[in-house]
Amino acid sequence: MVKGTLEKLAEIRRGELSAVENVSLSLERIKKLDKKINSFIELNPNALTEAEAVDRKIKKGERVGRLAGLTIGIKSNINVAGLRVTCASRTLQDYISPYDAEVIKRIRVEDGIIIGMNNMDEFACGSSGESSAFGPTENPAAPGHIPGGSSSGSAAAIAAGLCDLCLGTDTGGSIRNPASHCGVVGFKPTYGLVPRQGLIDLGMSLDQIGPLAADVSGAVLMLETIAGRSDNECIMLNVDKVSYLEKLRDVDLNGIRVGISRKFAELADPAIMDVIDKQIEKLHDLGAEIVEVDLPNLERGLPAYYLIVSVEFFSGTRKFDGRKYGRRIEEVCGEEVLRRILRGRYISQKEYRGKFYQKALQVRTLIKRELMAAFEKVDVIAGPTVPKLPHRIGTKLTPMEMYAYDYLTIPANLAGICAGVIKAGEINGIPVGLQIQGKVLGELEVLRVMKALEATE
């Protein structure tokens, strides 16, 4: 039986498993399996040295951090000093980061070992994990199928047991989508709970850094590590730190209200809904009250999101002009990245802002109001994560067919709320994830539901 994250952490702290042994095991698995999976772009050459330092602390009886000796993969759009931060693009293929992002500093303080940089969709523009300049990522849980994106390498690395924890980013579902396809736990925190300093962002008003893990406790451990206000950022919630693990020891769903919506069945494959409905029944059996909520404009979030994110992405990529570092993005980027740049440039023109961008912002407000109204009746909303099963790698999809993967995850980003994903079941061997959405700073309620479901497996 595979050890849980907290169990492994306890073994390292007791000296039964050294940090060096744990890192060595990760590196061996990566060497053995990752040529096929392609979940890592680059490995940290200092990982074993850093592990040795953790072991010395433990042997001396010194305080060690909450992540002591655990191996951690980082999505390649988060700056890690001394490693290439490529965004899986030829634009930045030779960019070596001179600094650590704030979340990386927090991981290091807690003695987590960065094992390497994970593959991803180029500049986080994708829902499949196929658009990386370094090649597509395989889904270890459903070989031959996409792992989902854009945090494809992070989810695949967890699913294959290549490392203990990963960091991904979520702009419209990029943590939750691959978590669902790969059968792992993923969590998108409330917007502004986790610092984004050092993230090469896709959409500054939508992005959030969050964890992927093999179990809920692992995701919580990482979330507790990275969450909390940073003095270097202005757009952050007034929360110094979070503490969830202790409150999840005795999981009881009595009194918790779980919202469901008919809209989910309209947008999702019936076979996926069958799996999800069984999980809703299980929540009811665990003591939760199931309440129907109305989300009439849910599907309007998709076109609004792609208009907003294209404008923000266009603006954010103007620094990649080939003068200071990297290469000019338009000259070397892939098809989807260029499509979003051109779309954003077009919409950003003065004569089109009112016609497209301003209307998209109005829809964003509408979606947020509907979700806030629903959360007056319920504590969380449960439903499918993606509306369809992952396609086979290499299948040609139109842009709209690809964007459709994001129908059910985008609303949480538009509203700035939190959402987590846990495996709900399988269809013909392919994982299906249940998405639990919570209100702003409703992380504890979401995690309670996820933990309760995990305990029934």
DSSP 138: P
- Asked about 423 being catalytic, the answer comes back as no
Q: Is residue 212 within 8 Å of 175, Cβ to Cβ? A: yes
The distance between the two most distant Cα atoms of the chain, rounded to a whole number of Å, is 67
Q: Say how far apart CA 90 and CA 333 lie, in whole Å.
A: 7
Among the options 18, 39, 75, 188, which is catalytic? 75
CA-only gyration radius of the chain, Å: 21
- Asked about 75 being catalytic, the answer comes back as yes
3-class secondary-structure state, position 347: helix
* Helix ranges restricted to H, 243-355: 262-267, 270-285, 301-316, 329-332, 335-348, 350-352
3-class secondary-structure state, position 322: coil
3-class secondary-structure state, position 164: coil
Contacts of 318 (CB under 8 A, 6+ apart): none
The phi, psi pair for 148, rounded to 5°, reads 90, 165
Amino acid at site 79: N
* Helix ranges restricted to H, 77-175: 102-109, 152-159
3-class secondary-structure state, position 327: coil
The owner of tokens 């023109």 is: 349
Q: Among candidates 147, 169, 173, 192, which has minimal Cα distance to 37?
A: 147
Q: Say how far apart CA 150 and CA 392 lie, in whole Å.
A: 16
Among the options 174, 180, 261, 310, which is catalytic? 174
Q: Is residue 355 within 8 Å of 92, Cβ to Cβ? A: no
3-class secondary-structure state, position 187: strand
The owner of tokens 């208009």 is: 307
Q: Say how far apart CA 58 and CA 26 lie, in whole Å.
A: 20
Bridge partners, 72 (sequence order)? 114, 165
Tokens of 311: 């404008």
Among the options 150, 151, 180, 217, which is catalytic? 150
Amino acid at site 229: R
- Asked about 217 being catalytic, the answer comes back as no
DSSP 92: G
Tokens of 192: 């502004």
DSSP 84: B
Q: Is residue 81 within 8 Å of 99, Cβ to Cβ? A: yes
3-class secondary-structure state, position 71: strand
Q: Which residues are catalytic?
A: 75, 150, 174
